[in-house]
């Protein structure tokens, strides 16, 4: 799928989220609740894919990302739980997009590194797109950062 089409659909999902569920932002729910509701809108727009929240498997194994533990605190591991992914379960070459979302703050160094590593063409997962979304009080203040081939686009 082309970058332009993915971004168009992500923006449409954001429009739907803010139209129907902006109150989640207003009442300051945890970002997992926001990610889940946003993922429901993504699923409507990406019907040929699975849209999963905090999907922790790579095949039947725990999803890990070598080197990610370096940016974490005391309990550092290489295990990852992307906030949302768009993929076809069990098919490695159909990893479309990995998302990290925040509702109260900007991207952390770990969020950025995770998206860079997950989109690296020579990496294990090779997602076509990494997308960081910072949800804000209004749709017009919502920020999207795109990662392709291990770099910010």
**Topology annotation, domain 3-152:** tt1808, chain A (3.90.1570)
Tokens of residue 53, six digits: 């929240």
Report the predicted TM-score, pTM, of the whole model to 2 decimal places. Answer: 0.92
- Structural domain spans, the chain: 3-152
**Residue 81 and residue 65 in contact, taking contact as beta carbons nearer than 8 Å:** no
Q: Is the dihedral of CA 48, 126, 36, 53 positive or negative?
A: positive
Residues 85, 87: Cα–Cα separation, whole Å: 6
Are 54 and 83 in contact by the 8 Å Cβ rule? The answer is yes
Other CB atoms within 10 Å distance of the CB of residue 130: 29
pLDDT tens-digit profile, the chain (153 residues): 999 999 999 999 999 999 999 999 999 999 999 999 999 999 999 999 999 999 988 888 888 888 787 776 655 678 888 999 999 998 877 899 999 999 978 888 889 999 999 999 988 899 999 999 999 999 999 999 999 999 999
């Amino acid at each position: 799928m082309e970058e332009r089409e993915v971004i168009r659909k992500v923006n449409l999902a954001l429009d739907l989220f803010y139209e129907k569920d902006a109150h989640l932002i207003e009442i300051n729910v945890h970002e997992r609740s926001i990610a889940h509701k946003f993922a429901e809108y993504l699923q409507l727009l990406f019907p040929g894919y699975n849209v999963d929240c905090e999907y922790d498997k790579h095949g039947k194994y725990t999803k890990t990302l070598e080197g990610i533990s370096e940016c974490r605190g005391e309990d550092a591991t290489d295990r990852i739980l992307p906030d949302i992914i768009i993929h076809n379960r069990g098919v490695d070459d159909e990893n479309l997009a990995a998302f990290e979302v925040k509702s109260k703050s900007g991207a952390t160094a770990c969020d950025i590194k995770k998206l860079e590593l997950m989109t690296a063409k020579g990496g294990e997962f090779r997602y076509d797109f990494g997308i960081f979304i910072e949800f804000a009080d209004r749709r017009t203040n919502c920020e999207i950062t795109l990662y392709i081939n291990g770099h910010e686009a």
